[in-house]
Amino acid sequence: MLSVTIAAFVVFAPAASSAEQIEVPLSRVQGPNNAFLDPEYGVSLTYPEGWELNRGFRWGPNHEQTTFGIRRTRRPAIGTSLFYQKFSADSPRPSDIKAWFRDSFTKKEAAKKSEKKDYQNLPASLVFGTTSTGLPRFSYVAMFNEGSRTLVEYYVRIAGKESYVMFITQGTPEDLDAIRAEIDAMADTVRVP
């Protein structure tokens, strides 16, 4: 189980060395009642009871990308990566968010296939909607094999006007079935500028 948790957490920054990362102290973003608020980016959410933050860092050429690990403390004790970054002049917020979501679905599969030939998105799992805070949201599941094991990745992407947030969770199909509702509930509370 531990290897699955770690794999989910490093998905966004596998090439970044510790010298390229800036640690974000958890005390800077943790609030009461499982509240998370990054004042520098304006991203907030509430993570479920029985989950904990376990590490956060900024990375990328100008440390403009942020990843936090959020781990479930009971079985299945796997985690999810919370990733976010601002839209920029080089990568502005698209006017058609649904098309952007769909494009990210296609591009992520193509990128992952270069690492794992059998990686495939499950088109029937694609869901478009909005969060309880009114933000556009989309999610889907991808599947691949690692040795003799079948694993899945669950993506949830939420777009604000200035930034976007993504959750990515990796584990067995059974693990995902056990925690998916908790990830969706957490994603539903996201506020992002």
pLDDT on residue 19: 54
- pLDDT tier, 171 (very low <50, low <70, confident <90, very high otherwise): very high
For the record, the structure tokens of 42 come out as: 């304006």
For the record, the structure tokens of 16 come out as: 């970044």
> Is residue 107 classed exposed, middle or buried when 0-12, 13-18 and 19+ CB atoms within 10 A define those classes?
exposed
User: Cβ(170)–Cβ(152) under 8 Å?
Assistant: yes
- pLDDT tier, 20 (very low <50, low <70, confident <90, very high otherwise): confident
Q: Count the neighbouring beta carbons within 10 Å of the beta carbon of residue 153.
A: 21
User: What value does the mean pLDDT take over residues 169-182?
Assistant: 96
User: What value does the mean pLDDT take over residues 120-124?
Assistant: 97
pLDDT at 8 over 70: no
pLDDT on residue 72: 94
